[in-house]
C-alpha cells in the first residue's frame, strides 16, 4: 500500500511539472511575439520618420520655389512699371522737342518776314510827308518856298529815320581820296588843293553799321607838276577808278541802245 501511494504521488507530480513547462513555453512565445511586434513597430516608425522627413523636405522646396516665383513676379512688375515710365518720358520729350522745333521754325520765318517791320513803321511818316507835299504842289496856290521848306523837312525826317538803323552819310569833300570808300568819277587839275583831294561829290556815299553800302562818287584833284611816290600811287588809284567808271557807263549805254 505504501508503494502504491508513492507511485500515485509520483504520478500526481509529473502532470504538474508538464503543465508548468507548457506555460513557460507559452510565455516565451508570447514574449517572442511581443519582441517581434516591437521590432516591426520600430521598423515602421523609422520608415514613417523617413517619409515624414522626405515630405517635409519636399514641402520646404515647394515653399522656396513659391517664394522665388513671387520675388520674380514682383521684380518683373516693377521692371514693367519702370519701362512704361521711361517710355512715357520719351514720348513727352519727343513731343516737347517737336514743339520747340516748330516754334523755332516759326520764329525764323517771322524774323525773315517781319525783319523790316520797325523800319517800315519809322518810314511811314516820311511817306505821309511826301504825299502831303505832293498835294500841296498840285494845288492852284502852291507856294514854292513852302514846298521847298516842306521838302527839306521831309528829307531831314528821312535821314533821321535811316540813322536810327545804323545808316551813315559820307560827304568827303576836302578829304584825301580813299579807294575803299570813294569812287573817282573824274580828275581835275588844281593848284589850290593837294593832289588826290576830293574836290566835289557827285553822289554821297552811305555806310551801314560802319560797312560800306555805297561808295561816294567824287571828283579828285591832280597837278601837272612833279608828284611824290605816294601822291602818284593815289593818283593812279583815282585814275583807275575813273577808267572803270567810264567802262561801266559805256556798257550801260550800249545795253540801253
Query: How many angstroms separate the CA atoms of 193 and 206, rounded?
Result: 25
How far is C-alpha 190 from the geometric centre of its chain's CA atoms?
A: 66
256 vs 133: CA distance, rounded Å: 33
pLDDT the model gives residue 53: 52
Contact 235, 193 (CB under 8 A): no
Question: So what's the pLDDT on residue 90?
Answer: 94
pLDDT digits (tens, 9 = 90+) for 132-184: 988 988 888 888 888 899 999 999 999 999 999 999 999 999 999 999 999 99
Counting every residue, how long is the chain? 257
As a dihedral over the C-alpha atoms of residue 207, residue 208, residue 212, residue 213, rounded to 10 degrees, the angle is -90
The reported pLDDT for the residue numbered 178 is 94
What mean pLDDT, rounded, does the chain reach? 76
- Here the cell at position 81 is 512699371
Residues 6+ apart with CB under 8 A from 200: 173, 218, 219
pLDDT band at 246 (very low <50, low <70, confident <90, very high): very low
Mean pLDDT of 192-218: 94
Q: Give the lowest-confidence range in 2-11, 180-189, 192-201.
A: 2-11
d(CA 192, CA 175): 14
pLDDT score of 215 more than 50: yes
Amino acid at each position: 500500500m505504501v508503494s502504491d501511494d508513492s507511485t500515485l504521488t509520483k504520478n500526481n507530480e509529473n502532470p504538474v511539472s508538464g503543465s508548468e513547462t507548457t506555460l513557460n513555453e507559452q510565455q516565451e512565445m508570447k514574449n517572442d511575439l511581443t519582441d517581434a511586434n516591437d521590432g516591426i513597430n520600430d521598423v515602421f516608425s523609422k520608415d514613417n520618420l523617413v517619409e515624414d522627413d522626405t515630405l517635409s523636405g519636399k514641402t520646404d522646396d515647394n515653399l522656396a520655389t513659391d517664394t522665388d516665383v513671387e520675388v520674380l513676379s514682383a521684380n518683373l512688375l516693377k521692371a514693367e512699371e519702370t519701362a512704361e515710365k521711361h517710355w512715357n518720358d520719351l514720348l513727352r520729350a519727343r513731343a516737347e522737342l517737336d514743339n520747340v522745333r516748330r516754334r523755332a521754325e516759326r520764329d525764323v520765318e517771322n524774323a525773315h518776314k517781319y525783319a523790316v517791320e520797325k523800319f517800315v513803321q519809322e518810314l511811314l511818316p516820311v511817306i505821309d510827308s511826301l504825299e502831303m507835299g505832293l498835294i500841296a504842289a498840285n494845288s492852284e496856290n502852291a507856294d514854292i518856298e513852302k514846298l521847298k521848306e516842306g521838302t527839306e523837312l521831309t528829307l531831314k525826317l528821312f535821314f533821321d529815320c535811316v540813322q536810327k538803323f545804323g545808316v551813315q552819310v559820307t560827304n568827303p569833300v576836302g578829304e584825301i581820296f580813299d579807294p575803299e570808300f570813294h569812287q573817282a568819277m573824274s580828275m581835275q587839275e588844281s593848284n589850290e588843293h593837294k593832289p588826290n583831294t576830293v574836290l566835289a561829290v557827285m553822289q554821297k556815299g552811305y555806310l551801314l553799321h560802319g560797312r560800306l553800302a555805297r561808295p561816294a562818287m567824287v571828283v579828285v584833284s591832280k597837278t601837272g607838276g612833279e608828284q611824290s611816290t605816294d601822291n602818284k600811287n593815289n593818283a593812279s588809284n583815282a585814275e583807275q577808278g575813273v577808267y572803270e567808271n567810264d567802262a561801266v557807263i559805256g556798257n550801260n549805254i550800249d545795253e540801253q541802245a
